[in-house]
Amino acid sequence: MIKKDGFKKVRLEKLFVSSPNTANSLLTMYGEEVTECISKNKNYQFFFSQTKTFDLIELEQLLQAVGWSRRPLRRVRKALDNSLLKVGLWQHDTRFPRLVGFARCTGDGIIDATVWDVAIHPVYQKLGLGKNLMSYILFNLKKMGISKVTLFADPGVVSFYKSQGWILEPKGNKCAFWYAN
């Protein structure tokens, strides 16, 4: 189920030798864990970051671009602070990197995690980024030792997850929801 392809840790040591400026700028922009995300469009470079600070307005714009409703920014900030893992996918630009993908996970950090808010900007869909984002998330959760990951798929994306090995709750009789309103 977990595929490790589709992304690669940037070899900073090597990059430092060949181009210290590039290595430094990647580190400064995306943090120590900077990881390249491979896509079908070779004209762009994409990087995952778990530490680059989100501009909340840019993040909400991304989530609205995929059709989700607006949420109060203060609550979004708290949700991010309380998340186990939050991943931004950036289209690289030395001056203005653009947030084109996002996902976050909640959980106990030991046994269980749940993935939320998986989104790739419509302009960048169908390039393999969504699949690689999921692969990157599962790789990092596995690194934490987490053995069970759940998510709630919108009906239109069930086959997206199924094709990556996610198993559907077969009879719909184990899952329960409670909504405050």
Ligand X SMILES: CC(C)(COP(=O)(O)OP(=O)(O)OC[C@H]1O[C@@H](n2cnc3c(N)ncnc32)[C@H](O)[C@@H]1OP(=O)(O)O)[C@@H](O)C(=O)NCCC(=O)NCCS
By annotation, the residues acting in catalysis are 161
What is the Cα–Cα distance from 133 to 37, expressed in whole angstroms?
Answer: 8
Number of residues counted as binding ligand X (CB under 6 A): 18
Among residues 11, 154, 165, 168, which is the contact residue for ligand X, using CB under 6 A?
154
Minimum CB distance to ligand X, residue 46 (Å): 11
Q: Segment 105-124, which members bind ligand X (CB under 6 A)? A: 118-120
Which position's Cβ is nearest ligand X? Answer: 130
**Using alpha carbons only, how large is the chain's radius of gyration in Å?**
17
Q: Closer to ligand X by CB, 23 or 88: give it.
A: 88
Q: Closer to ligand X by CB, 26 or 120: give it.
A: 120
Among residues 72, 145, 155, 156, which is the contact residue for ligand X, using CB under 6 A?
156
Cβ neighbours, 10 Å, residue 181: 2
What is the Cα–Cα distance from 154 to 116, expressed in whole angstroms?
Answer: 11
Minimum CB distance to ligand X, residue 102 (Å): 9
Among residues 12, 25, 125, 142, which is the contact residue for ligand X, using CB under 6 A?
125
Contact status: 128 vs ligand X (CB under 6 A):
yes
Among residues 88, 130, 135, 137, which is the contact residue for ligand X, using CB under 6 A?
130
Q: Closer to ligand X by CB, 97 or 101: give it.
A: 101
Q: Segment 80-99, which members bind ligand X (CB under 6 A)? A: none
User: If you write DSSP's letter for every residue of the chain in order, what string do you get?
Assistant: ----TTEEE--HHHHHHH-HHHHHHHHHHH-TT-EEE--S-TTS-EEEESSSPP-HHHHHHHHHHTTPPP--HHHHHHHHHT-SEEEEEEE--SS--EEEEEEEEEE-SSSEEEEEEEEE-GGGTTSSHHHHHHHHHHHHHHHTT--EEEE---GGGHHHHHTTTPPP-TTS-S-------
Q: Closer to ligand X by CB, 107 or 128: give it.
A: 128
Residues lying near ligand X in the complex (CB under 6 A): 66, 118-120, 125-131, 153-154, 156-157, 159-160, 163
